[in-house]
Amino acid sequence: MIERVRHDGVLVVGGGLAGLSAALPCAPRPTLVLSAEPLGGGASSAWAQGGIAAAVGAEDSPALHARDTVAAGAGLIDADRALALTELGPGVVERLSALGVRFDRDETRYHLSLEAAHSRPRVVRVGGDGAGCAILAAVGAAALAAPHIQVRTGFHARALLQDAAGRVRGILADQAGRPVEITASATILATGGLGGLYAVTTNPRALRGDGLAMAALAGAAVLDPEFVQFHPTAIDLGLDPAPLATEALRGEGAVLIDGAGRPIMPGVHPDGDLAPRDVVARALHGAVADGRGAFLDARRAIGSRFPAAYPAVFAACMSAGLDPRAEPIPVAPAAHFHMGGIEIDADGRTSLAGLFAAGECAAAGVHGANRLASNSLLEAAGFGAATGQAAATEADPGASALPLSSSPELPEADVQRLRAAMTRHAGVVRDAPGLRRLLTAIDELDARHPDALPLVAARMIAESALAREESRGAHHRLDFPARAEPAQHSRLFLPYRAAIAA
């Protein structure tokens, strides 16, 4: 028996930073936040280590921050949107401070980290490497205390509901095995990224692009799904997901070396260890693939300060039996962030009436082919709030018949098959034969589990990666190593065949 819930207000799917930031400004509209897991769990937001990029330093400005963002994006960033994002930075830090986030600072200034491809130290942090956890805790507490917000966990969204005109009217969810249909005036997808589609990832494993796939199946435009950022320095000690060794370590002088102790980055890029993420990821991928091995040596740069300065990284290493004060940390690239996503405008509106998207599942035009480090918490908090404000203005379109169809669950063994194939063929380096093999594997799985959400998301990545016959940012084709000009976006609509559009 299906349970039906009619919610006259905004429905937010996802309890990470984007979802909660969207929910807060919806007042006085009643706002229902659904999350698959308890708040703070299963969300990348809680795991963010580096911090939030914001031009709050004396030598910095939103214009400089936007310039770095555009440069990192490899020709595919909307410069106006990038500036709109970076102008939000100082205000977002102030707003989060007002909610109780204790950023690292003294009386006069913030302690700022330098991360790759930033021309200034610009990353505002909390307790060294605990920014995400502290920020999500503060925003979560504010949401739980807000009278207009109701948070319900244990709801797994399976499909979007649409009326006969195609307007999105809510979702079909699964609660402890029972189907629940929830209709609302506006629906915001804030389901995060898709690192869980890969065998080696820094993301919570359950993040497999559900929101992206649901939106695509409903006919929403999807932008640049092939651009997946691989973090170069996931800690390679056999854990799934792989813990991260934040880039701030390299900002403080930690060095990438091979197994023989030779530095890896000199001669690869003028910025050395702080070269853009895609460059470092490829260098480390090569070092691992050809047997040299890749390690992050923080012994001299951090040394005995490790436990106090980077408690999360220190704890992750120690729990796997490695003391980073005494030994270099083995590292490998891991799927980390999805630059592509559900295409949105400045208000977070998708191409479908009634449907909004925020955070990592959305593509707002600010990450291009390569995200600038620590811009995503800013996007989730800043653009997320703007999306909530816009969604709160949507009127309830009234009752109408809503045909239901839901995607099947992908069994765990098949999830693992998919993850292995994605890491192998749609990873740091790609080529046509590998991507075709990946598509064959997806076809075989799809024949048994038609349109299972992880398969829909994976297929969009694979097809767009195959269609993009160039190397740009995080997308590196061994068979097309050069950039093709002019830079073009991939814009997909069902049946998700890659259509290159300007």
Ligand X SMILES: Cc1cc2nc3c(=O)[nH]c(=O)nc-3n(C[C@H](O)[C@H](O)[C@H](O)COP(=O)(O)OP(=O)(O)OC[C@H]3O[C@@H](n4cnc5c(N)ncnc54)[C@H](O)[C@@H]3O)c2cc1C
Q: Which residues bind ligand X (CB under 6 A)?
A: 13-19, 34-37, 42-45, 47-52, 131-132, 155-157, 190-193, 202-203, 207, 210, 244, 337, 359-360, 374-377, 380
Helical axes 79-98 vs 375-391, angle rounded to 10°: 90
DSSP of 271-330: TGGGS-HHHHHHHHHHHHHTT---EEE-TTTTGGGHHHH-HHHHHHHHHTT--TTTSPEE
Minimum CB separation of residue 182 from ligand X in Å reads: 11
Minimum CB separation of residue 34 from ligand X in Å reads: 6
CA distance 48 to 427: 22
What is the three-class DSSP state of 357?
strand
Minimum CB separation of residue 433 from ligand X in Å reads: 30
Minimum CB separation of residue 458 from ligand X in Å reads: 15
Nearer to ligand X, 15 or 340 (CB): 15
CA distance 255 to 299: 9
Nearer to ligand X, 13 or 264 (CB): 13
Nearer to ligand X, 18 or 426 (CB): 18
Nearer to ligand X, 175 or 488 (CB): 175
- Residue 35 belongs to what H/E stretch? strand 31-35
What's at 55, amino acid-wise? A
Question: Cα 27 to the chain's mean position, in Å?
Answer: 27
Nearer to ligand X, 131 or 441 (CB): 131
Minimum CB separation of residue 341 from ligand X in Å reads: 9
Nearer to ligand X, 277 or 459 (CB): 277
DSSP of 176-229: TTEEEEEEEEEEEE-----GGGSSSBSS-TT-S-HHHHHHHHHT--EE-TT-EE
By C-alpha distance, which of 77, 345, 355, 354 is closest to 211? 355
Residue with tokens 């080696």: 200
Is 277 noted as a catalytic residue in this protein? yes
* DSSP annotation of 46: G
Minimum CB separation of residue 103 from ligand X in Å reads: 13
Judge contact between 330 and 343, C-beta under 8 A.
Answer: no
**Catalytic pick from 277, 371, 472, 491?**
277
| CB-based contacts of 391, cutoff 8 Å, min separation 6 | 10, 22, 26, 186, 188, 348, 356
- What amino acid positions are annotated as catalytic residues? 277
